[in-house]
Amino acid sequence: MVRRFPLAPMAVLGAVFALALAAALTISRLEERDTFCIACHTLPEVTYHERAQQALATMDGAPFADLSSAHYGMESTFHCIDCHRGDQGLVHRVTTLALAARDTAIWVSGRADETIEKTQLVVPGLLTAACTRCHAQALLEVGFNNHFHNKLPEAYDLWQAGAELHAPIETPDLPPAALVVEPSPTEVRCVDCHRAHIEVPGSELRAFLDLANTVYPACVRCHEDAGHGPLELARR
């Protein structure tokens, strides 16, 4: 006997799936507009958006407020979602949509964290994947002078996936055998040093790095994970 499934429940499931897919596609298109993002992300995201607009309007060489603003100032087609969508693959697309649903629920409940200078990241892996997508070359330069990049697991993953390593400017004639990277067993990621929305006066002179409060602690964490390297760094 052929088992028949009731048509009504199947139709309902199909309709729900179609609506969910249409909603996901619509949100994905709307996310390309910063104004859509700040419609729900009021504070502190409105502040970030204002900084970005100031960066776009900067024509006199004035310093940008933070790293995110610098991206807008150097690339006029930049958008919020470029950092918040990960590697653009299916897993990260689903993660981004799930995060958006979570943020919507927080907004509806009126419990959003309005702190401007946040120090805790919700999904750092998503942000790091976005960094890697655009800044892979920074990770693929070998040598100790770039060890804070090429020791990251992301550098090794890129290399194993077929990306080409390159020699540093100061030693361009390295033999092919020297073009290798050895990843550190660390949980430190790009965003542990490169915080997009932290405004530190004068940091534009140091690639928007907050050395004392962000970078040096990340260095120590990485050295601890690796089991070697200095554990006390000057704070100045």
Long-range contacts formed by 231-235: CB under 8 A, 24+ apart: 235/211
User: Which range is least confidently modeled, 1-5, 74-78, 118-122, 154-158?
Assistant: 1-5
Q: What pLDDT shows up at residue 225?
A: 93
User: Which band of pLDDT confidence, cut at 50, 70 and 90, is reported for residue 21?
Assistant: low
Q: Which residue has better confidence, 2 or 68? A: 68
- For the chain, percent of residues with pLDDT exceeding 90: 43
Domain holding 69, by residue range, is 30-109
For the segment 99-128, the average pLDDT, to the nearest whole number, is 85
Tell whether 22 is covered by a domain. no
**69 and 155 belong to one structural domain:** no
Query: Considering 109, 140, 164, which residue would you say is the last residue of a domain?
Result: 109
Q: Is 13 domain-assigned?
A: no
- Of 57, 75, 109, at which residue does a domain stop? 109
* CB-based contacts of 22-28 (< 8 A; 24+ apart in sequence): 24/97, 27/97, 27/100, 28/93, 28/97
Per-residue pLDDT of 22-58, as tens digits, reads 766 777 777 888 888 887 777 788 899 999 999 988 7
| Sequence-separated (6 or more) residues with CB below 8 Å from residue 86 | 92, 93, 95, 96, 125, 126, 127, 129, 130
Chain-wide mean pLDDT for the chain?
A: 86
In this predicted structure, the answer to whether residue 191 has a pLDDT above a threshold of 80 is yes
- Average the pLDDT over 10-32 and give the result: 72
Residue 83: band (very low, low, confident or very high) from pLDDT cuts 50, 70, 90: very high
What's the total number of domains in the chain?
2
Q: What is the pTM of this model?
A: 0.81
